[in-house]
Structure formats: structure tokens, C-alpha cells
């Protein structure tokens, strides 16, 4: 007889827990720097109007693999329309429930066809990586990534750890704007990572949650994936449109598997469809229609890219503002990492105790790993945040 009385309480989600505490805070100076506030882009609103006017089948089921127009457009967005793998039709692409769903489908596929695969994940990383791969039945390990002292990339340690991985192991790589550190490899370092991956016969699983969000240029931000594709390496890529199109709640993304031949792609597609069918049958329609419309309509695409660039420019402005505000307090140490780090987050290196003290005494909310979402900052909050940081040093 099951009564559910035996179920124990699960731990709260690190980020969502922060938001709950923030919402309970009634202080006027309360500041949430754990997440950004998504705005609905004009390009998205226009795409939605077009969809309403033109798509009469709007509530029908999508195919298991998702919206065909979206699948083609997202593949080209990721690899480039001229990429060899795209032209030769060697990329198996399924629409996914955003980046998280894409990672989960990829992990399930790997566990089914390559059981026992070891997965190497950067330390630190987006916290959900361990849970996603672990829940799919794969064994996870960390590889060294951040040098805590310099708050930069510990490149030699990273390569040394990857070299120790058994052939066939999966290595999870953030395409750009690494979360939570904001630290990305340089183009030269990416070339060396590709060498190591090829030499050690590792399988890269790219997580592309921020294409366009690092530099404001969607082509530049795809550099790492395109380099590996040019080298002819097999790989998986999970894409998300949560951030770069601001489509968080629409849950739109894709999983791409780069195969050696069109024939292999067809077989992989059939297996990805089996995974999807049993997990959620077929994906939702609306987000795919929005993303496909924006990606394929030249006017909307151009408008979106301008809006995206403006968001990234504002983040860069906030980085500069935060650094200057902290330096103006006379805080000891080198704060250049704030403007050197990439993407919407800055990894401050503040300890969990310092973070807790900022929350208690200054009503500033961030996850205990000291990661600030620069996208969540505004000009009027900079001095308050800087003063709080100064006080806990
Ligand atoms: N991967 C990374 C590195 C992320 O930072 C995030 C979101 O924060 C995701 C994946 C997944 O986000 P979503 O499922 O909304 O696409």
C-alpha cells in the first residue's frame, strides 16, 4: 500500500530558492541579481502576429521531431548554412524543450546506444548538467575549468583532465558565455581543445544556451561549434532560444547530432524520435513557430539581431558600471575580471558566507556561488551592490 508518507523533502533549487526569498523581502532596497528580467522582443511580437494571421493549423500536433521549418533553420543558425555537415545533410536535428530538454534527449540517446559512457563536465558549471546526465543514467565527472585565483580559465588543468578521460567519453563544452563563470576559451585555446578531443577520441556535447549573447554577434558566438564541425568531428549540440530570443517560457531549443554520413543521420533521427515519443510524444508548437519565423524572415531576423545587440551592449555597459562602482569604493583587489568575463553572468568569487551577509544586511539576492546576473542590474542599483560587496570583503 503506497501512501506517499515515506517521500522525503527534496532540496530547493538553488536559483529558484533565491527568487522565493527575494519575493518575500519587503525592503525598498531589495535587489535580485540572480536572474535577468526578460523583455518581449519586438521581433517576437511581430512574429506572433504573423503566425496568428497565417497559420490556420495552429493547434495541430507537430511531428515527433518537431517543426520541419524550425529544424532546418535552427541547424543553419548553429552550424552556418554553408557548413559541410548541413549541406551533406548529416545533422540529425530534433526540436526540444529548450536547452534543458535538448540535453536530456541527448543524454537519453547516449545512455541507450552507448551505455556506460562517462560524461566530463566543467567545474564549475550550470548546476543542472549533473542532474540531467545523471538522471539519464550516465556517470558524471568534473574536469577542471576555472582558476579561482585569477578567475580565468585553468587551461592546462582542463586539457590534462580531458586527456585522462577514456576514449568515447563525452565532454560537455559551453559554446560561449560559460555559465556561471563568464570565462570562455580563446580561439587558439578552442583549436587546442579540438586537437585534444580528436586525439583522445572524446565525444563533444556542446551546450549552446547563449549564441549571440556573448558578443552580440550570433556568427562569432558559434565559433567553437563551427570549428569542430569543420574538423569533421562527431558531436552533439543542445541549443536554446531562451536567452537570445527571450523565449524562456516557450521552451524552444533543439538537439543536433552531427553524423559521419547521411545514412547514419537517418538512423540516428529514427532513434531520437523513439526517445522523444516515449518522453513527451511531440514538442509544443508556438515557440518553434516564433523562432522559425524570426530565423527565416529576413526583415524580422535583421530586427531581432539589432535588438539582441542592444541587450548585449547594455550588459557590457552594466559590467563597466559595476566595475567602476566597486573600484570607486576603494575595494582592494583587481576587479578587471568583471569586464573581462563574457555573457550575462559575472562570477565574483564571493564566498557563500559573503553572499549570505549581503542578503541579510543589504537585501541583495544571488546564488551562494557568488554569481551575479549582470542582465539583472540597472544603473540605480550599481552603488548599492558595490557598497555591499565592499562591506563583505
Ligand atoms: N545550459 C546552460 C549553460 C544554461 O545556462 C541554461 C539556462 O540557464 C540552459 C542550458 C538551459 O536553459 P533552457 O532550458 O531555458 O534553454
Alpha carbon nearest to ligand 1 atom 1, residue: 209
Residue 363: pLDDT band by 50, 70, 90 thresholds?
very high
Please identify, by atom number, the ligand 1 atom nearest to the C-alpha of residue 129: 1
Could you tell me if the CB of 98 is within 6 A of ligand 1?
yes
Q: Using CA atoms, how far apart are residues 149 and 337, in angstroms rounded to an integer? A: 11
Residue 17: pLDDT band by 50, 70, 90 thresholds?
confident
pLDDT tens profile 95-104: 999 999 999 9
Across 28-39, average pLDDT: 87
Residue 60 phi, psi dihedral angles, 5° rounding: -70, 160
Could you tell me if the CB of 207 is within 6 A of ligand 1?
yes
Model pTM?
0.95
How many Å lie between the centroid of ligand 1 and the Cα of residue 99? 5
Buried b (16+ CB within 10 A) or exposed e, 330-362: eeeeebebbebbbbbbbbbbbeeebbebbbeeb
The reported pLDDT for the residue numbered 8 is: 95
123 noted as active-site residue: no
Catalytic residue among 75, 161, 190, 243: 243
CA distances from 267 to 90, 113, 170, 270 (A): 11, 12, 20, 5
Q: Share the mean pLDDT of the chain.
A: 95
Q: Using CA atoms, how far apart are residues 74 and 80, in angstroms rounded to an integer? A: 9
What is the full DSSP assignment across 224-255?
HHHHHHHTT--EEEEEE-TTTS--GGG-EEEE
pLDDT tens profile 227-254: 999 999 999 999 999 999 999 999 999 9
Q: Using CA atoms, how far apart are residues 341 and 208, in angstroms rounded to an integer? A: 17
pLDDT tens profile 335-348: 999 999 999 999 99
Q: Is the pLDDT of residue 290 over 80?
A: yes
207 noted as active-site residue: yes
Buried b (16+ CB within 10 A) or exposed e, 148-159: eeebebbbeebb
Q: Cis omega (within 30 of 0) on the bond before 124?
A: yes
Please identify, by atom number, the ligand 1 atom nearest to the C-alpha of residue 174: 3
Could you tell me if the CB of 125 is within 6 A of ligand 1?
no
45 noted as active-site residue: no
Could you tell me if the CB of 181 is within 6 A of ligand 1?
no
The reported pLDDT for the residue numbered 38 is: 81
Could you tell me if the CB of 133 is within 6 A of ligand 1?
no
Residue 1: pLDDT band by 50, 70, 90 thresholds?
confident
ipTM value for the complex: 0.99
List all residues 6 or more positions away from 167 whose beta carbon is below 8 Å from its beta carbon.
Answer: 200, 201, 202
* Sole residue written with cell 523583455: 39
Q: 234: alpha, beta or left, given left = phi > 0 and alpha = psi -120 to 50?
A: beta
pLDDT tens profile 201-215: 999 999 999 999 999
Burial label, 293 (beta-carbon count in 10 A; 0-12, 13-18, 19+): buried
How many Å lie between the centroid of ligand 1 and the Cα of residue 36? 13
The reported pLDDT for the residue numbered 57 is: 67
Across 282-287, average pLDDT: 97
Amino acid at each position: 500500500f503506497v501512501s506517499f508518507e515515506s517521500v522525503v523533502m527534496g532540496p530547493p533549487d538553488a536559483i529558484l530558492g533565491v527568487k522565493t526569498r527575494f519575493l518575500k523581502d519587503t525592503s525598498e532596497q531589495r535587489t535580485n541579481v540572480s536572474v535577468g528580467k526578460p523583455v518581449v522582443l519586438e521581433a517576437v511580437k511581430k512574429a506572433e502576429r504573423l503566425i496568428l494571421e497565417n497559420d490556420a493549423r495552429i493547434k495541430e500536433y507537430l511531428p515527433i521531431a518537431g517543426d520541419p521549418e524550425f529544424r532546418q533553420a535552427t541547424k543553419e543558425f548553429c552550424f552556418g548554412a554553408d557548413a559541410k555537415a548541413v549541406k551533406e545533410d548529416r545533422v540529425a536535428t530534433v526540436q526540444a524543450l529548450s536547452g534543458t530538454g535538448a540535453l536530456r534527449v541527448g543524454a537519453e540517446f547516449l545512455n541507450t546506444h552507448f551505455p556506460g559512457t562517462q560524461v566530463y563536465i566543467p567545474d564549475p558549471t550550470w548546476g543542472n548538467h549533473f542532474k540531467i546526465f545523471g538522471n539519464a543514467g550516465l556517470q558524471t565527472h568534473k574536469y577542471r575549468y576555472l582558476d579561482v585565483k585569477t578567475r580565468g580559465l585553468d587551461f592546462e588543468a582542463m586539457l590534462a583532465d580531458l586527456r585522462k578521460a577514456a576514449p568515447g567519453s563525452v565532454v560537455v563544452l559551453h559554446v560561449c558565455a560559460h555559465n556561471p563563470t563568464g570565462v570562455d576559451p580563446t580561439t587558439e585555446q578552442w583549436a587546442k581543445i579540438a586537437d585534444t578531443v580528436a586525439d583522445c577520441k572524446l565525444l563533444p556535447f556542446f551546450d549552446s544556451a547563449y549564441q549571440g549573447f556573448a558578443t552580440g554577434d550570433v556568427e562569432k558566438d558559434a565559433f567553437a561549434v563551427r570549428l569542430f564541425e569543420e574538423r569533421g568531428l562527431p558531436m552533439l549540440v543542445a541549443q536554446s532560444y531562451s536567452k537570445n530570443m527571450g523565449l524562456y517560457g516557450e521552451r524552444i531549443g533543439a538537439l543536433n547530432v552531427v553524423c559521419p554520413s547521411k545514412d547514419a543521420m537517418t538512423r540516428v533521427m529514427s532513434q531520437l524520435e523513439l526517445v522523444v515519443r516515449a518522453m513527451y510524444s511531440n514538442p509544443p508548437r508556438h515557440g518553434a513557430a516564433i523562432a522559425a519565423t524570426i530565423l527565416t524572415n529576413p526583415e524580422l531576423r535583421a530586427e531581432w539581431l539589432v535588438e539582441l545587440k542592444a541587450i548585449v551592449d547594455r550588459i557590457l555597459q552594466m559590467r563597466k558600471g559595476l566595475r567602476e562602482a566597486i573600484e570607486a569604493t576603494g575595494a582592494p583587489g583587481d576587479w578587471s575580471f568583471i569586464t573581462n568575463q563574457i555573457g550575462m553572468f559575472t562570477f565574483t568569487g564571493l564566498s557563500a558566507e559573503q553572499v549570505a551577509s549581503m542578503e541579510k544586511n543589504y537585501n541583495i539576492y544571488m546564488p551562494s556561488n557568488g554569481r551575479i546576473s549582470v542582465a539583472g542590474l540597472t544603473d540605480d542599483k550599481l552603488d548599492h551592490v558595490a557598497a555591499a560587496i565592499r562591506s563583505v570583503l
